[in-house]
Amino acid sequence: MSASEALPVSSARPVPSRLPGVRPWVTLSLVLALVALASLAVGTVPVPPAAIFGSLWEALGLGEASQRLEPTQRAVLFTLRLPRVVLGMMVGAVLATTGAALQALFRNPLVEPGLLGTSSGAALGAVLAIVLDVTLGTNMGPLRMLVVPGAAFLGALGATLLAQRLGTGGGRTDTPRMLLSGVAVSAGAFAGMGLLTHAASDAQLRSITFWSLGSLGGASWETVGAAAVPLLLTLGLVLREARALNLVLLGEREAYHLGVDVERLKRRLILSAALGVGAAVAFTGMIGFVGLMVPALLRMALGPDHRRLLAASALTGASLLLASDLLSRTLAAPSELPVGALTSVLGVPAFIALLSRRGTA
């Protein structure tokens, strides 16, 4: 019995929703709206929630705000917090949605994008760019801000393609072999990062910490614009595969007879995950457990129907990352905790609980 057969994601029979509300995603959308509002309002410089709506309404040219913000509050809202919230929502949605898709594709609830080497490959590319930038004495002017994210994206793509290549035999993707290849690629990437840190200066080590632990602190409208294309494209590519993923849960052979080209589906989703997760890590660093925890827990609540599960994962992943970022900014203010560390603190107990549940099922 293969690893994917030993740990099936779920039965193909739909499970009734246990979330309140007419539609689960209505409840999840309200939660996301409240978390986003709190992220915009709460911080070292508090911004009144009522003024936030008026200012956004006015910025869109739809009317005048009834309550004016002070110049400092307006600058904090539009320059710092709003791009941070937008980037956090996109990254959280992509991490959770790709995690849900890969869990269904490999029929294993313990799979996440990082298991394919995507996240570690991106981090290795970023660290390599950070260390070589000063060592080679490069000075690229305005293009400098794109060097590290670009290297991270290339690292993610290269690591994912390598894991896919090593996991393919006889023209077919062998699931356990590919997952083991991803683990090996991740181990090699982390080893490379460890060696590079010995050549890094103190300033570079602080930058490397950002990529290792994750943060939304570097968000700006420039980064939001650069990240929006690959992140939104990934969401669109994954969401359109909901029906095919439902059929894959029946088994690869059954899905093939029902019209799904399973091998092409695997390639599309794996490359989509590389695109989205690579872009996410490129602009926010490594943020773990979102792609594992969110879809695994939602599958228990909503069942295996990916027509609902993928959208719910996107909303919940966005909410979780925004809530974690809000805690990272406020728990130790004025210092900022790494958001990746907070998601891991939340994710480890959930991961252990999931393993315990599988062991007693």
Tokens of 176: 């356990």
Burial class (CB in 10 A: 0-12, 13-18, 19+), 232: middle
| CB contact at 8 A, 76 and 45 | yes
pLDDT for 239 equals 94
Domain at 3-29+88-360, CATH homologous superfamily: ABC transporter involved in vitamin B12 uptake, BtuC (1.10.3470.10)
Bond before 334 cis per omega within 30 degrees = yes
Question: C-alpha distances in angstroms, 15 versus 257, 354, 355, 359?
Answer: 25, 18, 20, 21
d(CA 234, CA 101): 11
- HSE, CB side, 13 Å, CA atoms: give it for residue 90: 28
Number of residues that make up the chain: 361
In three-state secondary structure terms, 167 is coil
Half-sphere exposure of 102 (CA within 13 A, CB side): 28
| Bridge partners, residue 173, by sequence | 168
- Measured over all CA atoms, what is the biggest interatomic distance in the chain, rounded to whole angstroms? 67
Which tokens in the block code for residue 237? Answer: 């590519």
CB-based burial of residue 263 (10 Å sphere; 0-12 exposed, 13-18 middle, 19+ buried)? middle
- 232: tokens are 């939104």
Closest CA to 28 of 82, 108, 95, 89: 89
- Say how far apart CA 15 and CA 301 lie, in whole Å: 8
Question: Rounded CA gap, 119 and 126, in Å?
Answer: 11
Looking at residue 302, its pLDDT comes to 86
Residue 67 is predicted with a pLDDT of 65
Rg of the chain over Cα atoms, rounded to whole angstroms, equals 21
CA distances from 285 to 174, 217, 277, 306 (A): 29, 10, 10, 28
pLDDT per residue rounded down to tens, the chain (361 residues): 444 444 444 444 444 444 444 467 788 999 999 999 999 999 888 888 888 877 777 776 665 655 677 888 888 999 999 999 999 999 999 999 999 999 888 887 778 888 888 888 988 888 888 888 644 444 444 455 677 778 888 888 889 889 888 887 766 767 778 888 888 999 999 899 888 888 888 878 877 877 778 889 888 898 899 899 999 999 999 999 999 999 988 888 888 888 888 888 988 998 888 889 888 988 898 898 898 889 988 988 888 889 889 999 999 999 999 999 999 999 877 788 889 888 888 777 877 776 776 555 5
Token pair for residue 137? 């004495």
Instruction: Tell me the whole-structure pTM to 2 decimals.
Output: 0.85
Helix ranges (DSSP H) in 42-143 = 49-59, 71-75, 82-106, 118-135
Domains of the chain, by residue range, sit at 3-29+88-360
pLDDT at 64: 63
Task: Tell me which amino acid residue 41 is.
Answer: A
**pLDDT on residue 21:** 42
DSSP state of 285: -
